[in-house]
Amino acid sequence: MDIVIVSAVIASLFLVIGAAEPLAARLRLPFTVILAVLGILIGSGAIFFLRTDLTDALNPVAEAILGLPISSNVFLYVFLPTLLFQATLGMNLRRMLDDWVPIMVLAVVAVVVATLSVGYALSWASTLPLVACLLIGAIVSTTDPSAVVSIFRSISAPRRLSRIIEGESLLNDAAAIALFGLFMGFVMMGVPDPRLGEALGQFPILIAGGALTGWLAARVAVWIMALFRAHELAMISVSVALPYLAYIGSEQVVGASGVIAVVAAGLTLNLTGPGRLPPQAWANLGEVWDLLAHWAGALIFILAALLIPRLLEGVRLSDFVLLGVVILAALAARAVVLFGLLPLLTLMRVSPHVERPYRTAILWGGLRGAVTLALALAVTESIWVPGEVKRLVGILATGFTLFTLLVQGTTLRAVIGWLGLDQLSPIDEAMSRQVIAVSLQTVREDVARTTEDYALTHDVVRAEAKAFGERLEQAVKAAEDSDDILDRDRITLGLIALAGFERYTILARVRERTISARMAEQTLLDADRLIEGARAGGRNGYQRAARRSVAYGPGFRVAGLLRRRFGLSGPLVRMTADRFELLLSQRLTLRDLDAFIEGRIRRIHGRRVADLLLELLARRIEMVETALDGLRLQYPGYAEELERRFIRRTALRLEEREYAAMREDGLIGAEVFTTLMQDLATRRAQAEHRPPLDIAVQRLELIRQFPLFSDLDDKTLRQLSRALKTRYVNAGNIALHKNRPVRSVYFIASGAVEVESAGQTWRLGRGEMFGQIAILMKKARRAEARAIAPTTLLVLDVARFRALLNRSAALRDAVRASAEKRGLDPNQILAPADP
């Protein structure tokens, strides 16, 4: 085959890809549908010109098109790793984890249900062996929801819903291909009726082996990329090699799922890369992978579509009946999951509520694509598969793919319109008016500065300013005069805008490197949760998200357990240091939000809404300061080191700006600028390193600050520091339950606790204790203590508390005061402890 013609054909395919996107936008059809149609037309045209007697001039081109080395291995080993790897890099993984239940249901359970449904339906309607029918079910069970996701984004569907569909698209390919490999092995070995339990029992082994291989490959790749951090192109090259080596290693060496290995490798790099690689290099790496994935996705679709005319050769009338069975069984299986299992999970409060119109759109938007065709092609290429099985697999998989693309894909937007999902809700319309008003205010300020800088004609400026001012006044009035928006909704709109500005501020801080790349993802995640919390639950949803951003997660409990039981301090040190830096980053961001409320929110929503938002902001700042104070008490000096690090990073950013300005003004040449920037990069790398945190010796310093222990000598204090245990309690959680056995006394190191006993309530703060009355009176606890802020407690067992009470007069005075507050006789309580 002439290399010139082949090169021309491949270049022409890129022209087709370039034309398909604007054509899809103009026709308002999914991009993949346009690619499939163009691929079918090109393949059919090549067959026509090669067989026709009209002309032989185009025969070399037709032969080149039909002779392209398109095989299933090209799809599975060249294109698929690129698509899967880029999808994992572009995911907001931590937000996906919030919705892991519905994602796993759609991605794994739905694939298994569809495989079994299609397999058993075909087995009933055809003479094929059960294993061949299950193989067809696995092939058609993978979905390509890119069409429904793109449409959901265009109609401003909830982010959470789009995120669930994106998670499904990533993981269901892995599940379907793993099942395909399982049943393909049975077909090639000639096992007509495998034991389903035994077959599915191998499924976890394939997944676990692939996940371990991908994780290990990614860890090695991240280590190498960190060594190459000064060479951006080298880091990107290593990332390109990673998915292919993980895929091949898992498939050929380990004998596990290569798809799972690629997914695990991408997720590992997604989690560890931002903290280990320079921010700009990480951003450029993502852009390179976006482009590679765009090309790979388009090529795999159009090349697979070229094969459709050949795969449909030899179709019979009876095959259409079997195709109808496949279509009905696949839609029924997906409907059972969407309308049966998902609502059940919602009732169990493990899945977000997905409204019926959205579930209907997801059902109709479950298009099949290139992966289905590639798997069908792999079957037709195998010499170990019986001929009739190969013929039916090719026809049914191709026919089902065409049905989803040409019927469901072309009508999906109409279905969404029929469901009313393309109409903005009243609150979204109000949001759009608010966005216009806020944007125009910003534009006016920027235009005013521009006119001053360029000294434009006064009359022209005044005329334009008047016209713009009228438009701005109309926009603000439209935002203020929304009669169909309740005050509650105005507060929600204000909170959404506030959280959106917080996210914008975080991004600006990350670009300035004031907030480290390590904290960027977590702070942005918290901002996204604030936005979604406000949209879903208004003020209460916003406050829940705010409390979660400063709360101790379950990871802290696990890290503390590892340290206490096994002496592993590394996880607790790392998580504590991350918490320190996260709280400092939050405090830095929150200080900038009051100006936004005063300057923007007050003008649009009025004084009452603005004052309420200022109050909520003050509460958030107080929560952050309380949590930060608790850490400062435990680890004195560490916060100051982080603040010094922040100042150094800020100074370096300003220094870089000055060098760039001098370079642009011609004050320094390229050689001098390069030398200065190299020195700056060295100092910046040093400034990025976090100071070490020693969690072992800090407790003694914390105890010294307690007024209750002020009269203890150093030896007793050291003994006490070893005896006390640290416990973290999130706001709203119970620290001390009623009617529980008496085992400990609790000292509040930071935060606040509300104690309820006999209908009375007391609030205790830093330096106070609770639980001592029940111990001294030798009665079951009648009090319940609940944290009202993120709280750090120091816990002391009964025996050590009694011994300490005999030594410390200050502690006895505190016990006496707490007894008097409760109306108890302090002498009676302290009598057993008196010498």
**Are residues 552 and 509 in contact, defined by beta-carbon separation less than 8 angstroms?**
no
Q: Which of 140-144, 385-389, 457-461, 754-758 has the lowest mean pLDDT?
A: 457-461
Question: Beta-carbon neighbour count of residue 382 at 10 Å?
Answer: 16
Q: Please name every residue paired with 760 in a beta bridge, in sequence order, or none if there are none.
A: 757
Q: Which of 45-54, 421-430, 641-650, 677-686 has the lowest mean pLDDT?
A: 421-430
Contacts of 53 (CB under 8 A, 6+ apart): none
pLDDT band with cut points at 50, 70 and 90 for residue 835: very low
Please report which residue ranges of 554-637 form alpha helices under DSSP H.
554-566, 570-590, 593-596, 602-605, 607-634
pLDDT band with cut points at 50, 70 and 90 for residue 834: very low
pTM above 0.95, yes or no: no
- What is the tens place of the pLDDT at every residue in 701-758? 667 767 777 777 777 777 777 788 878 777 678 888 777 776 788 888 777 788 887 6
Q: Which of 371-380, 587-596, 657-666, 726-735 has the lowest mean pLDDT?
A: 726-735
Residue 187 to residue 205: CA distance in whole angstroms: 20
Q: Helices 258-276 and 279-306 sit at what angle, rounded to 10 degrees?
A: 160
Question: Is the pLDDT score of 461 beyond 50?
Answer: yes
Question: Beta-carbon neighbour count of residue 80 at 10 Å?
Answer: 23
**Are residues 368 and 330 in contact, defined by beta-carbon separation less than 8 angstroms?**
no
Half-sphere exposure of 704 (CA within 13 A, CB side): 12
Residue 748 to residue 628: CA distance in whole angstroms: 14
Q: Which of 63-77, 232-246, 615-629 has the lowest mean pLDDT?
A: 63-77
Q: Please name every residue paired with 505 in a beta bridge, in sequence order, or none if there are none.
A: none
- 78 exposure class (CB count in 10 Å sphere: 0-12, 13-18, 19+): middle
For residue 724, the SS3 value is: coil
pLDDT value for 294: 83
- 255 exposure class (CB count in 10 Å sphere: 0-12, 13-18, 19+): exposed
- What is the tens place of the pLDDT at every residue in 787-804? 876 677 888 887 888 787
How much helix, strand and coil, in percent to the nearest 5, is found in the chain? Answer: 75, 5, 20
Mean pLDDT in residue range 315-338: 88
Contacts of 140 (CB under 8 A, 6+ apart): 114, 118, 326, 330, 368, 372, 396, 397, 400, 401
pLDDT value for 201: 65
Mean pLDDT in residue range 328-334: 91
pLDDT band with cut points at 50, 70 and 90 for residue 259: confident
In the block, which residue shows the tokens 């200022």? 614
Q: Which of 278-287, 418-427, 521-530, 665-674 has the lowest mean pLDDT?
A: 418-427
Q: What is the DSSP letter of 77?
A: I
**Are residues 136 and 122 in contact, defined by beta-carbon separation less than 8 angstroms?**
yes
Buried-state track 503-512, b at ≥16 Cβ within 10 A, e below 16: bebbeebbee
pLDDT band with cut points at 50, 70 and 90 for residue 200: low
Q: What is the DSSP letter of 128?
A: S
The torsion of the CA quartet 80, 84, 89, 91, rounded to 10 degrees, works out to 150
Mean pLDDT in residue range 363-382: 80
- What is the tens place of the pLDDT at every residue in 642-654? 777 778 877 887 8
Q: What is the mean pLDDT of the chain?
A: 78
Residue 768 to residue 753: CA distance in whole angstroms: 10
Tokens linked to 631: 């850490």
Question: Beta-carbon neighbour count of residue 714 at 10 Å?
Answer: 9
Residue 304 to residue 36: CA distance in whole angstroms: 8
